Amino acid sequence: METTRTPIEVATSYLESFAKRDPDLIASHVSEDFKNIHTSALGDPCEGKSSYRDRLPGFLNKFKDLTYECEEIISQEERVFISYLMRADVDGSEISIRGVFNLKIINGFIESRIDYFDSLTFLKQIGHPAGLEEI
């Protein structure tokens, strides 16, 4: 008898899958109608599992040694909120950015992901001129 994983189990497995750098493994967590939504100006939203899967190799190549560390996780029915610490090497710059995923998980698959992170923090950490200006 197959058991469906809880939303928290799906969410934590999804975060852990990025460290394995396998686009198919990462995409296996999302539904066919997956919506990848970014609140950051630097984010690149998309819809559909195949579109998401197709973008993953480029993302993984840009963010080398990528890991997401779960700092806190809260679940209410199909909603899972994860505060994370993302670490990676981007063009020789070590980045460490905190953010939050708002995941909607139905029948063991992520239907939508809203990602909240600070673009300015990212730009500062990679030494981008826009990230070095005082506001």
Over its length of 135 residues, how does the chain's per-residue pLDDT go in tens digits?
456 899 999 999 999 999 999 999 999 999 999 999 999 888 889 999 999 999 999 999 999 999 999 999 999 999 999 999 999 999 999 999 999 999 999 999 999 999 999 988 999 999 988 766 655
Q: Which residues pair with 89 in a beta bridge?
A: 64, 94
Instruction: Give residue limits of the domains in the chain.
Output: 7-129
CATH topology of domain 7-129: Nuclear Transport Factor 2; Chain: A, (3.10.450)
| Cβ neighbourhood burial of 2 (10 Å; 0-12, 13-18, 19+) | exposed
* Helix/strand/coil for 20: helix
> What's the whole-model pTM score?
0.91
* Helix/strand/coil for 65: strand
| Cβ neighbourhood burial of 107 (10 Å; 0-12, 13-18, 19+) | exposed
Query: Which secondary-structure segment (H or E) carries 17?
Result: helix 7-17
